[in-house]
């Protein structure tokens, strides 16, 4: 049994290193997948801080929705790497309202390894979200808006009408996106 302990320990060390931003391709895939899946929607800042060195990150008010993506290594040279991410965009969402329009979006990311860790430097651009991720987000927006209406939890900028419009937009957007599932 003692002969297996070093091998098991080494396996755990290698696994821990691999998951700790030590491979540029893994970092790029994990970063894109956090957004594409919709998981990053609940805490953009934590995801951005984990994978990037973006000093001036600000959340935008529109989200591009894609039905597919492809990540390709363009170049890797020592401590620098460039990746191209292609998204088949089907539309854009703003305030729970989806506007359809198919196009291809290409984002080129530059990564740098510092102290053994790969981090995304440029561009300061959020990847697209998948149709499934957007549907989940829209359903959560409806639930949140409905709760705020039920509690009469309004402010000057988020009135009852605001939440009612948001719910109507989200419901219409869900109907549009269902055909892309």
Architecture of domain 21-180: Roll (3.10)
Domain map (residue ranges) of the chain: 21-180
Assign 155 to helix, strand or coil: coil
Cβ neighbours of residue 38 under 8 Å, at least 6 residues apart? 129, 130, 132, 133, 134, 136, 137
Contact 129, 63 (CB under 8 A): yes
What residues contact residue 142 under an 8 Å CB cut-off, 6+ apart? 166, 167, 170, 171
Residues 6+ apart with CB under 8 A from 4: none
Work out the pLDDT band at 20, boundaries 50, 70, 90. low
| φ/ψ bin of 45: left (φ > 0), alpha (ψ from -120 to 50), beta (otherwise) | alpha
- pLDDT band with cut points at 50, 70 and 90 for residue 59: confident
pLDDT digits (tens, 9 = 90+) for 120-175: 999 888 899 999 999 999 999 999 999 999 999 999 999 999 999 999 999 999 99
Q: What's this model's pTM, rounded to 2 decimal places?
A: 0.83
C-beta of residue 83 within 8 angstroms of C-beta of residue 28: yes
- On whether the CB atoms of residues 81 and 148 are closer than 8 A, the answer is no
96 alpha-carbon distance from chain centroid: 17
Looking at the predicted structure, is the pLDDT value of residue 48 above 70? yes
């Amino acid at each position: 049994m003692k002969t297996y302990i070093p091998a098991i320990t080494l396996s755990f060390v290698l696994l821990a290193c691999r998951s700790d931003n030590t491979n540029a391709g893994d970092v790029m895939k994990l970063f894109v997948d956090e957004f594409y899946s919709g998981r990053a929607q609940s805490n953009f800042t934590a995801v951005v801080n984990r994978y990037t060195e973006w000093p001036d990150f600000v959340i935008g008010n529109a989200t591009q929705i894609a039905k597919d993506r492809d990540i390709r290594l363009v170049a890797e040279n020592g401590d620098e790497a460039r990746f191209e991410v292609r998204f088949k965009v089907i539309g854009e969402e703003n305030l729970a309202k989806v506007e359809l329009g198919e196009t291809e979006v290409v984002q080129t990311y530059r990564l740098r390894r510092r102290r053994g860790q790969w981090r995304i430097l440029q561009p300061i651009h959020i990847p697209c979200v998948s149709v499934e991720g957007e549907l989940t987000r829209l359903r959560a927006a409806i639930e949140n808006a409905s709760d705020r209406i039920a509690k009469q939890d309004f402010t000057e900028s988020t009135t009852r009408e605001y939440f009612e419009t948001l719910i109507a937009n989200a419901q219409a957007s869900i109907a549009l996106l269902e055909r892309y599932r």
